Amino acid sequence: MSGRTGPGTGQEGKDWRAGVRSSKARQLLVLLLTAALVALGAWLLDGRTAGTQTDQTSLNGAQAVQVTGDRSGPPPEVGKPAQGFTARTVAGKPISLAALKGRPVWLTFGASWCTACRAEAPDIQSAYTAAKGSGVEVVAVNMQEMPADVASFADKLGLTYPQVADPETALASRYRVMGLPSHFFIDKEGVLRAQHVGILTREAMDQQLARLKG
């Protein structure tokens, strides 16, 4: 009786089995490479997006923040009336945008724990000192801080413009603050004329205030 010559025996069978194993290995390799390429693409996309955000944040010197207060009202829009607010300064005095109507208002959001805000505060004080004679008012809103901490911070840096504590981010939420420092320049009619996220140079501060007064 002649021997079996199917694919399961002899050299031909060995070659067949080796071919099958090789084919499966190639399929597995293709799958692994595909998965790796997909993962790499996703990582590069995320990295590119995150890098853009980081570069922008670094460019403006802003620190990203999250607000938790009511945001049901309209967001601030240049050329439209600014969101009204009523608060109490850390000195215990009531303050509101309505009461300041007729005067240009620079509303600035910051915090003592914000490095950029601490660096910028002396320039704000200097700009305020130079402009307050013309009726400009600066109001600082300090996010996620208690009044005593804000008062201590202002006293340490010699800040004389009104300071408001915003521990629950109520005011920051109303103005949709996403980074500190943030600045809103409101004319004497209560209309928002400019907004800026990030550090302002002293020159830029003077320019914004000059536009408000003009």
Tell me the pLDDT tens digit for each residue of 161-207: 999 999 999 999 999 999 999 999 999 999 999 999 999 999 999 99
Total number of domains constituting the chain? 2
Q: Model confidence over 81-117: pLDDT tens digits?
A: 999 999 999 999 999 999 999 999 999 999 999 999 9
Q: What is the pLDDT of residue 46?
A: 38
Q: Model confidence over 33-77: pLDDT tens digits?
A: 666 555 544 443 333 333 323 233 334 778 999 999 998 889 999
Looking at the chain, list the stretches that DSSP marks H as alpha helix, in order from N- to C-terminal side: 10-60, 115-131, 147-157, 170-174, 202-213
Strands 182-186 and 192-197: antiparallel
CATH of the domain at 163: 3.40.30.10
Residue 171 CB partners (closer than 8 Å, separation 6+): 69, 85, 87, 109, 141, 164
| Residues 124 and 190 placed together within one structural domain of the fold | yes
Q: Read off the pTM.
A: 0.72
| Residues 55 and 67 placed together within one structural domain of the fold | no
Please say which residue of 11, 40, 60 terminates a domain: 60
| Residues 69 and 35 placed together within one structural domain of the fold | no
